Structure 1
Amino acid sequence: MNAGKLSPQMLENLIFKHFNNKRQDTIVGPDIGVDCGILSFGDNICVVSSDPITGAVKDIGRLAVHVSCNDIAAAGIEPIALVVTIMVPEGASEQELEDIALQMGRESSRLNVDIVGGHTEVTNAVNRVIISCTAIGKGHKEKLITAKGARIGDSVLVTKTAGLEGSSILATDYENSLIGNIPEELIDEAKSYINHISVVKEGIIAGKFGVNAMHDVTEGGILGAAWEIAQASKTGIELWRDSIPVTRATRAICRHFNLDPLRLISSGCMLMTTDRPKELKELIQGQGIRCEIIGRIIEDMRVIVTDGRAQPIIPPVRDELYKLL
């Protein structure tokens, strides 16, 4: 198997078929394109999601907090707690471990999220630090949003710009390769994207607004997330390439490494569908967050339109970032 998350087909054939969830407490279980497990507690719900960080080095603590909490926000729910597992390779320094804990403590405090437990160990099973977080949120059952609710005729919106997380990782961990090949101000700009990878704010806004479906954009980028939201909703989707926002810095970095910015890991972007797109766009932009209408939900085909020509959006296989790992 290649590096990266499993393909939808492998998940179905190797993993999901062995899980037979039968409890009435389980509202949403594992499925393609679904960010969270959701459990019923009377009139309330508990929303849970787990994510590892495997493709970054320097900002791994910050990324671990935000990537996990973003999944909870994709249900329109505020994250409240994290359980953290940290696997440290033999030979790592105490200072390295403390720096990670410092990052995680700082970022979780900014989100008003408590780290309530977990596990930390030094092991020869890894050759660099691996962090896996389980995020927990709570909310009301009637306000539940998943990736499964997209409706034919909905507009598709995205917040911020494509490739945010991937651009930040590449500018930080591969800076030496970029220096002299692209302007330093673009490298510095891409590094700063780490400050914008939380989607908790727009997720809660969209949850209160009442979008039909929501999915945060992670591995596989915007094209991967678009395919997943269509798969979860059993619909088609049409994206318009010229409408998808990509910064000059991201384009330059992706051009240097020969990567597709629309298939690059993009924590910080939230994909949403609604039948009231202009109202939602104005609401989110009024909070200082860029938001663009980039497509629509259609009956069956999953395509991206470039210069009037429709090309199929294939299922996500491997994120562009893994080409360099």
Structure 2
Amino acid sequence: MKVGNISQTVWNRSVCRQLHIEEDEIFFPPSLEEPCSAFCLPAEQEKSKKRKRVVIYTNAEVFGDAVNVGNFAIYRALNDLAVRGACPVSVSLRILLTPSIVEERLKEMIVCMEAVCQTAGVSITGVKAEVSPAVTYPIVFAVAAGYMGAESMTRASEALPGQELVLCGYAGLEGTLRILAEQKDELAKRFVPAFIRKTKELENQLAALDAIAAARCAGASAIHQVGEGGIFAALWELGEASKVGMDVDMLKLSVRQETIEICEYYGVNPYQLTSAGCILMTSNDGDSLVKTLEGVGARATRLGVIRHKKARVITSKTEQRYLDRPAPDELMLWWERE
């Protein structure tokens, strides 16, 4: 099969049809659009469903040689909990190392991940690390857990026709930082030190917990983190989850100049590049939501409108095209080439 996430057809045929799901016992049926799983505490099972206290968890994995590679898994997992309305509590890690890795590198990786978790106010509650001859690059699996009330749960399926679509954060930034971390020596020959330093400093933009909390307080309806496949895949996923269409102005997509420069150098499409920390939201008042997000220091822009019709239209100046099914993530394709 092709690298990256499996296609919707493969998911439906080889995954979903094999599962037997008790709808009354779960909050998020398995789907391509939903990264989280949730269940009620045993003592809460007899209460009204909307008043139940829910334990929620999600996982993310990354691979690569960079010392900060695990940070990106943690950012993604914590943001995924936050967009569903959960208060993150803990992160558990599993790390697979290559036989060539030295102990000092493992120590550096843990220091990086601990710093991210401390900033987010969560604890690393478990670490399992092992050396495996089966892996080519170090792989970090992060499982984040939290809790929330069922009545405060936000779903990607809650976008409604007539609502406005807002983008918080920068498309392709996560993928840009991961490429930079892996190819810092090569890119240092291409770009001036100030450019490299400024780009590295953008990592703190991947932590979107404050922006997500502000959006929820401002009445955002559907909230969905941009994942693998980039902003184009996330728009498709939001549309599929809510069974809606949309009109999107491509010129409003926020992309850092650093992303454009590095993507052009490697021939990578930034709109199909993994983007943890970049969040799609819908609201009855997009301009008000944008102001709220800007008030907490986030980059935000009104991207388009949700439509009742199923067509998902991307407009760029005078050109229009329909959104395609998600393509393989550009970072995966870059790894395959490089």
Where on the TM-score scale, by shorter chain, does this alignment land: which range?
Answer: over 0.9
Answer 1 or 2: which has greater helix percent. 2
**Is 1:229 matched up with 2:207?**
no
Q: What is the aligned partner in structure 2 of residue 97 from structure 1?
A: 106
- Corresponding residue for 1:5? 5
Q: Distance in 2 between matches of 1:13 and 1:255?
A: 37
1:50 matched to which residue of 2? 59
5+ residue gaps, structure 1: none
Q: Indicate yes or no: 2:240 matched with 1:240.
A: no
1:244-264 CA distances to partner (integer Å, 9 max, x unpaired)? Answer: 111211111111112211111
- In the TM superposition, residue 208 of structure 1 has moved relative to its aligned partner by 2.7
Alpha-carbon deviation of 1:102? 1.1
Partner residue in 1 for 2:281: 272
State the shift of 1:217 in Å. 1.0
Q: Report the counterpart of residue 267 of structure 2 in structure 1.
A: 258
Distance 1:12 1:193 in 2: 37
Q: Which whole-Å CA distance do the structure 2 matches of 1:240 and 1:183 have between them?
A: 33
Distance 1:176 1:106 in 2: 24
Write the distance in 2 (CA, Å) between the matches of 1:84 and 1:17.
30
Cα distance in 2 between the residues matched to 1:145 and 1:116: 26
Equivalent residue for 2:159? 150
| 118 and 178 in structure 1: CA distance in 2 versus 1, 3 angstrom threshold | closer
Looking at structure 2, the residues matched to 242 and 31 of structure 1 have their Cα atoms a distance apart, in angstroms, of 30
Q: For residue 324 of structure 1, what is the amino acid of its counterpart?
A: W
How much has 1:150 moved relative to structure 2?
A: 0.6
Tell me the C-alpha RMSD between the 2 structures: 1.7
Q: 1:147, CA displacement in angstroms?
A: 0.7
Q: Secondary structure at the match of 2:301?
A: strand
Structure 1 residue 200: Cα displacement: 1.4
Return closer, same or farther for 1:54/1:7 CA change in 2, 3 Å cut-off: farther
Q: 295-304 vs 55-64, which deviates more?
A: 55-64
Matched, 1:40 2:49: no
Equivalent of 1:308 in 318, 324, 331 = 318
Q: What is the CA–CA distance in structure 2 between the aligned matches of 1:265 and 1:278, rounded to whole Å?
A: 26
Q: In percent, how many aligned pairs have the same letter?
A: 25
Q: 1:140 and 2:149 equivalent?
A: yes
Aligned residue pairs total 325
CA 1:229–1:23: 2 relative to 1, 3 Å: closer
Q: CA deviation at 1:240?
A: 0.5
Moved more, 122-131 or 9-18: 9-18
Contact 1:32–1:231, Cα closer than 8 Å, also in 2: no
Correspondence 1:69-218 to 2 at 5 A: 69-218=78-227
Counterpart-to-counterpart distance in 2, 1:54 and 1:317: 20
Q: Any gaps of 5 or more consecutive residues in structure 2?
A: 45-51
Larger deviation, residues 49-58 vs 242-251: 49-58
Distance 1:170 1:310 in 2: 31
SS in 2 for 1:2: coil
Preserved CA contact (<8 Å) 2:64 2:137: no
Q: Indicate the SS of the match to 2:175.
A: helix
- Kept after mapping to 1: 8 A contact 2:159/2:244: yes
Q: For residues 170 and 272 of structure 1, do their structure 2 counterparts lie closer, same or farther at Cα, with a shift above 3 Å needed?
A: same
TM-score normalised by L of structure 1: 0.94
Number of the residue aligned with 1:249: 258
